[in-house]
Amino acid sequence: MKGYVSDDGRVGYCFFPKVACTTIKRALYELENGVKFSRELVGCHVHKYTSKRKVAIIDQCERRFVVIRDPIKRFLSAYSNRVTFHNELSENALRKFLENNKNIKIPFYNPTLDQFIEHFDVYYKVETIFHHARPMVEFLDGENLSFFSDVYKMEDLHAFEVELCNVFGKSVSFDRTQTGGVKFTLKELSEVQVQRLLSFYQRDYELLRGFYSEEAVWDEWGKEHNKPLSQKK
């Protein structure tokens, strides 16, 4: 499996979009180079730097880290950041895509969350949406979480930060990035929308069993809507 590999080959990190990967890549750069990542200094975005200079096979790394996130909350984060903040589904942003895909009709530019979910099969064809909303299981080359020596939930990001400092023998603080955009929660979703997203991310929930579950989603959604889990249907 490919991922970020430290210069000494001891540390490997598998990253997913919308699971703090920008933050973690920047932290790893600082731990290995002794200075904060600077786009001006390096000459490119941290993602491009990582893909060109740091990505390799992580199978032989002594420590193989991964950070995971509830799939639906990851989906909502992707919509918030890429659609409402970066406007990647605006008419202007999609102009080149539509020129190259004349058979595709965009239902709505800058779609609302409801519109985005309703027509997700269309928006998912847009490269940036595909990249950021793609199920995590598809990044793992057929492996499961047992492949990793260390698995951290998004909610336990600070613990991962502490462990990285221990491993490298240096201090670093995670500086959260790519957080722009209106924040959406399960409360914004209808029952039908939850069911649709659970179906889309079914393989992810199977992958993440023991960490995240469909039952936990329904429980949280039910509390947000004052509708007990047993009454969701």
Burial of 212 (0-12, 13-18, 19+ CB in 10 A): buried
Residue-range definition of the domain harbouring residue 198: 71-134+181-231
Mark whether 46 and 159 lie in a shared domain: yes
Name residue 209's amino acid.
R
Q: What is this structure's pTM?
A: 0.93
Mark whether 209 and 219 lie in a shared domain: yes
Mark whether 145 and 38 lie in a shared domain: yes
Q: How many distinct structural domains can be found in the chain?
A: 2
Mark whether 46 and 88 lie in a shared domain: no
Across the chain, the runs of DSSP E, i.e. the strands, are: 2-5, 11-14, 55-57, 63-68, 150-153
Q: Which helix (H) or strand (E) holds 48?
A: helix 46-53
Mark whether 226 and 164 lie in a shared domain: no
Q: Which two tokens stand for residue 103?
A: 């058979």
Asked, for residue 37, whether it belongs to a domain, the answer is yes
pLDDT, one tens digit for every residue, the chain (233 residues): 999 999 999 999 999 999 999 999 999 999 999 999 999 999 999 999 999 999 999 999 999 999 999 999 999 999 999 999 999 999 999 999 999 999 999 999 999 999 999 999 999 999 999 999 999 999 999 999 999 999 999 999 999 999 999 999 999 999 876 556 789 999 999 999 999 999 999 999 999 999 999 999 999 999 999 876 644 54
Mark whether 6 and 117 lie in a shared domain: no
Mark whether 186 and 215 lie in a shared domain: yes
Mark whether 100 and 28 lie in a shared domain: no
Question: Distance between CA 159 and CA 152 in Å, rounded?
Answer: 8
Mark whether 100 and 205 lie in a shared domain: yes
Asked, for residue 15, whether it belongs to a domain, the answer is yes
CB 66 within 8 A of CB 151: yes
Among candidates 157, 122, 133, 47, which has minimal Cα distance to 82? 133
Among candidates 137, 100, 110, 106, which has minimal Cα distance to 121? 106
Mark whether 119 and 206 lie in a shared domain: yes
Mark whether 30 and 129 lie in a shared domain: no
